[in-house]
Amino acid sequence: MPKSKKSSNSSINLTEPQYYINRELSWLEFNNRVLHEACDPRTPLLERLKFLAIFSSNLDEFFMVRVAALKQQVEAKVTKLSPDGRTPQQQLDDIRLHLIPKVTQQHQHFEQSIRPLLANHGIHILNYINLNQKQRNYLDSYFEDQIFPVLTPLAVDPSHPFPYISNLSLNLAVVVKNPDTDEEFFARVKVPSVLPRFLPLPPELGIQLENGQPAHWTGVPLEQAIAHNLDSLFPGMNIQEYHPFRITRDADLTLEEDEADDLLLAIEQELRKRRIGGNPVRIEIQSQTPEPVRTRLLQDLELTENDVYEVDGLVGLRDLMYFMALPLPELKDPPRQSVVPMRLQRLREPSLDPDVLELDEGKDFFSVIREKDLFVHHPYQSFSATVVRFITHAAHDPNVLAIKMTLYRTSGDSPIVNALIAAAENGKQVSVLVELKARFDEENNIYWARRLERVGVHVVYGLVGLKTHCKTVMVVRREKDRMRRYVHIGTGNYNPKTARLYTDLGLFSCREELGADITDLFNFLTGYSRQKSYRELLVAPVNMRDRFLELIRREITNVQNGLTGRIVAKMNSLVDPQIITHLYEASRAGVQIDLIIRGICCLRPGLPELSENIRVISIIGRFLEHSRMYYFYNNGQEEIYIGSADWMSRNLDRRVEVITPIRDQDIAKDLQEILGIMLADNRQAWDLQGDGTYVQRRPGNDCPEANSQITLMNMSLRSTNVTTNLMDAKKSASVTDN
């Protein structure tokens, strides 16, 4: 029941800074939950190693984008405060204050806990100094044959300026002495990224298990093999010391789209700049690095002590992902086989003969969709047997005349792109919007755009000032005396690889309203249409923000009229101040609100007289919780939506996004059930506190609030194919904000 009802005309100013959590600190709290998975003994050992690597790779991107942007604001003397009232410099200071103990925790956990556990299970990451002579001889020979030819030592002196240090590169700062003059010199050796970070020893030279068999893996970090062979790089000099260090640079693209005559060319030019990298924003060094070397690095890189992150042990733990390739299933999550939805089992393949296609009584993909809308839930249900199959069928079906699609991210060997190429070669009209501005995927998308263009696909690169982030496909098919439009609207990228790791939703439909809306959307994306209204879809930046605000206000009105108000929303991030303000108003009116937010949440739940009726959880675990769902009780006439957009200003105002209502009642019940399972989670759910910290739920907790919430939403928690094994395959932390 609502805890209180306050008039929205009360004197509380809902925009005051104390009612908002800082965006950057909220993201750091998310990454803390990733680190917790690495420290949780319930997580299989190699999965714990994976989460350590994810924690590091997440931080790399955070520094390359978010910290770099804050530093630019400081340099530009920006005075605008964040919604929580912090200056850019205060945010940088708070980020560092938060990160120093967490980075220390990460490295201590690896060195003191994970590394010994790996050794107990036959995975020995040794230090070079602990090798026996036979092992050293092997690595020294390997160095001469495989590593030495790749290395380029760079001296630093008046005639050799400090070399450029590339982004995310691992390096050795080397001090050498001339034995004739006792003069010391400084040099830099880059650890080549073209070689594996960890060098395995042959089984016969590796550590032996108790049963006499060789260990699963024995080896050393690449930089140590280089460091102990520096004499080969500096013959005649005495090696005094060496110290690993790693640089992070500003890597966000700066693109003046309005001034670009050719967007593709402009992005290619910016990518070349990124390879060089922007200004340094962080240096990682070992804590025992002596002061003279440390000072030299900071001076030459134009960094300050506030940019230094000390580590004890290996520098650059993101490379630990290397060990996930070891064939040791007993140290990983149990394998999980995606299933094919019942309605799609035993479908016939499309015939190349249109007469046969029309006369054959067997079902094809399109006839299944004609029966009723089809819902898919990845990775529990196969992406390849649903989305890829749909596009492949369309590519080879002679009755299909056109395919239109948006591509934000896809895999390097994409079967979807291959299907689109086949469709074009089969004479179909194929139009694809490839978003060239998808961060850190720009180069991959340029490659696919050019490949598609070469076979006659109409490729569009997006809209000036907007990223096209929606996930939509439309197939136009001739059926007897009419044209029918089939659509797929999803929450995740058309990427078969991440579809096995990310939890996402998709809807297949041939409803006329959706087909007409998707047609209008593609006209907006490819032409000069400025569509202002849609029949069914919520489309950003056209009508989505206003529609979401209307849906929240409707729940407020219902409560004010003595009815029940209820909102449940699941997304990746909640940042937008206007949405947060409306949620506060709804809570004060008595609307019950549950938010399932994996990452950033700037709203403070549970504050007296403000957000007492708002609860926020985050779920972190095996799969990346990437789907977006929005539920509104609507006085019993429940409405539920899925799509590509989070409640962030960038999604609502600066991206093309699509949210679709779910009209099929069976699908709506399945979605409510999924929400109900998540609200009841007491294994991998974290409750957000009003101060911005999170508390993890534990098995055995009764979660009475969650149970009452499920009842209020009329969730029966039925056992359906949609949620089969959902609880034992739950959730995952991740790398890229999509």
pLDDT category at 708 given cuts 50, 70, 90 is: very low
* pLDDT score, position 393: 94
- Whether residue 282 has pLDDT greater than 90: yes
CB-CB contact of 143 with 232 (8 Å): yes
* pLDDT score, position 358: 43
Active site residue 626: no
Q: Which residue has the higher pLDDT, 446 or 164?
A: 164
* pLDDT score, position 579: 98
3-class SS of residue 602: coil
* pLDDT score, position 275: 54
pLDDT digits (tens, 9 = 90+) for 421-461: 999 999 999 998 887 665 655 666 677 777 888 888 888 87
Handedness of CA 636, 594, 541, 735 (dihedral sign): negative
What is the rounded average pLDDT of the residues 503-507?
Answer: 97
* pLDDT score, position 462: 72
CA distances from 392 to 396, 456, 460, 491 (A): 7, 17, 21, 20
- Whether residue 661 has pLDDT greater than 80: yes
* pLDDT score, position 410: 73
**Would you call the peptide bond into 116 cis, given omega within 30 degrees of 0 as the criterion?**
no
Q: Which residue has the tokens 């299989």?
A: 44
3-class SS of residue 670: helix
* pLDDT score, position 723: 36
3-class SS of residue 546: helix
Helices and strands counted in the chain (H then E): 20, 28
- Whether residue 725 has pLDDT greater than 50: no
- Whether residue 518 has pLDDT greater than 90: yes
pLDDT digits (tens, 9 = 90+) for 615-643: 999 999 889 899 999 999 999 999 999 99
pLDDT digits (tens, 9 = 90+) for 396-430: 999 999 999 998 777 667 899 999 999 999 999 99
CB-CB contact of 252 with 267 (8 Å): no
Q: pTM of the entire structure? A: 0.89
Among candidate residues 124, 469, 488, 626, the one labeled active-site is 469
- % of residues, the chain, pLDDT over 70: 86
3-class SS of residue 230: helix
* pLDDT score, position 700: 62
Q: Which two tokens stand for residue 203?
A: 């089984």
* pLDDT score, position 437: 61
CA distance 566 to 579: 16
pLDDT digits (tens, 9 = 90+) for 181-213: 999 999 999 999 999 999 999 999 999 887 778
Give φ, ψ of 449 to 5 degrees: -60, -45
* pLDDT score, position 531: 73
Q: Which two tokens stand for residue 24?
A: 């950057």
* pLDDT score, position 347: 76
CA distance 432 to 452: 8
pLDDT digits (tens, 9 = 90+) for 130-157: 999 999 999 999 999 999 999 988 888 7
* pLDDT score, position 346: 78
Average pLDDT, the chain: 87
